[in-house]
Chains A and B, each alone.
Chain A
Amino acid sequence: MANRNLTYDPTLYEQTRKKTWQERLSLFSLKMPSIAVLFLWSVIPLFMTLWFSFQRYNIMEPDKTGFDGLGNYRYLLSDPSLALSIWHTVVLVGAVLVITIGLGTLLAVLFDQEFFGRGIARVLVLAPFFVMPTVSALVWKNMMMHPDNGFLAFLMRSVGLKPVDWFAVAPLTSIIIIVSWQWLPFAVLTLLTAVQSLDGERKEAARMDGAGPIAMFFYIIWPHLGRAVAAVTMIESIFLLGVFAEIYVTTSGGPGFASTNLSFLIYRYALLEYDIGGASVGGVVAIILANILALFLMRSFAKNLDA
């Protein structure tokens, strides 16, 4: 863009023009409070977590303190439950993303069609997103998946099958089902918003050119959804990395460590075993994991933001 300086670009002008000192002062005093509290909230605890991870610190053993070097790291990294819980975290995030975006795309296309009572049907689909996590987990645990009184058990009995004790046989899968149910509406709503923003003329033109519904989906709709899929992936990953309440009220991470993710492992270390040093190592691992993910996501996502 060689001649960029020759054309008048109001945004660029506004960003680069010299500000008067009054403007700079008001800018500073308006922005500073938010930046300061966010800094206090995120950066300082981050460094504390790092610091504690090198300390000997158990609330139950107040006499054992001091610098421990890599002791906590050696201890935690040799604990097989750490690798297991990282694996569970990855599986949980990955599976829920695939399920919600896959089904979400199909449902977005479905709910883009005209049909009778679409408004009400859409409201019903959306509802699970607004249910607090502890409620949805308990409803699924007790009223859907319970091996005696659950609705699924009733369905299986009525077709002559033996009911499954979901949380004993497949604890992580059960949690994936619950979390997918909670997040599917968000994916549907976001993707539907994107589908509807596709202008009708392009669809009409493609139809005129003889595109069938399948060609239409792959050549017109799907490419248009890129930005929405990136957004859904990013936001869901943020929340899914920290899934906690659903595990807390259903399996408590068990049986054994079968449904313990990183969040729950850290909770176990910190608030059940009072091992602050160990929990902090877990925290550091969680932060590293989130940052690896963020690196990929933020790059593709930041391009889509009109800041």
Chain B
Amino acid sequence: MTSSKLRQKWIMTILGWAVALFLFFPIFWMIVTSFKTEGDAISRIPHLFFLPTLENYMAVQERANYFHFAWNSVVVSIGSTLLALAFAIPSAYAMAFIPTKRTKDTLLWMLSTKMMPSVGVLVPIYLIFRDLGLLDTITGLLIVDAMMNLPIVIWMLYTFFKEVPREVLEAARMDGAGPLRELYNLLLPLSMPGIVSTSLLAIILSWNEAFWSLNLTASKAAPLTAFIASFSSPEGLFYAKLSAASTMAIAPILILGWLSQKQLVRGLTFGAVK
């Protein structure tokens, strides 16, 4: 490597890391604060070196029953993903392997339902849920999240299914496999990586979903997004506990997110950018 090339690489290293640390700083600061005492946390001169404590993590569980909300988040995000997959796999399969002239229009219509702002249907959904007794229930939120993600899940599966070579399926069909056998014995195993990354994206999206969580749940079925929002009311005072609760709330999704970053772009852009 010539010296000018090496120098350029060092400049890029400094620039790249400066940007990365700058953007990551709020998260870093939140994690640091979660190990401080409340007194240290609101000190006007921020300390980087202090005696770390785990008391905030204990307090969040003892006083606010953190695991109740965490459990709600787990059930809602995994449940809604399974529900969305149950609807999406058959229809993505049908559209990928037995396309008709209307397939593209159907897909675009599904996409267009995502363009509808949630707030435009807040009132009817709220009233329907009230009448069905679904307000503040895990079932209710789970259904909403599944419907929110269904178009994305269908699209993503559709693009993955289309990559499975047709010849494989046709060979199976020659051997007399029916459409269902074909789906379960061949297509699902072949496109398992795609299904896994689709599921990860759906889990991330519903874990972080806040609009419906805030509007449709109260204490009983509230997931972590709504629980964290409850820290917004009392002024100041609970920075360290807020940080501890937040750190626990985002940790699992940060890990899932890093695992699925490659597929994330493809999923969220409906396969337009790969």
Contacts and interface: CB of A to CB of B under 8 A. Distances in A.
A48 B155 CA distance: 27
Q: What DSSP secondary structure best describes chain A's contact surface?
A: helix
Interface in B141-190: 147, 150-151, 154, 158, 179
Interface string A5-48: 00000010011100100010011011101110110011011101
B140 to A, nearest CB: 13
Contacts of A249: 228-229, 232
Contact of A124 (B13, B20, B106, B265): B20
Nearest to A53: B123
A231 B272 contact: yes
A271 B218 CA distance: 13
B99 to A, nearest CB: 5
Interface of A: 11, 14-16, 19, 23, 26-27, 29-31, 33-35, 37-38, 41-42, 44-46, 48-49, 52, 107, 110-111, 113-118, 120-136, 138-144, 146, 148-149, 151, 153-154, 157, 181, 184-186, 189-190, 193-194, 197, 227-228, 230-232, 235, 238, 241-242, 244-245, 248-250, 262-263, 266-267, 270-271, 276, 279-280, 282-284, 286-287, 289-291, 293-294, 297-298, 301-302, 304-307
Contacts of B124: 44-45, 48-49, 52
Contacts of A110: 12, 15-16, 19
B220 interface: no
Contacts of A307: 103-104, 107-108, 158
Contact of A118 (B16, B25, B93, B100): B16
Contacts of B42: 148-149
A221 B44 CA distance: 46
A45 B125 CA distance: 7
B16 A113 contact: yes
Closest 5 CB pairs of A and B: A245-B210, A48-B124, A130-B257, A45-B121, A30-B94
Contacts of B249: 132, 135
Interface residues of B, number: 101
18 contacts: A37-B87, A38-B110, A41-B147, A45-B121, A48-B127, A110-B16, A121-B17, A122-B20, A123-B261, A130-B250, A134-B226, A190-B265, A242-B117, A242-B211, A245-B229, A270-B122, A291-B115, A302-B108
B23 A124 contact: yes
B33 interface: yes
Given A190-B268, A242-B117, A263-B119, 17 more contacts: A29-B90, A35-B91, A38-B113, A42-B113, A42-B116, A121-B17, A139-B243, A139-B246, A143-B29, A153-B44, A228-B273, A232-B269, A238-B115, A244-B211, A263-B211, A286-B120, A290-B115
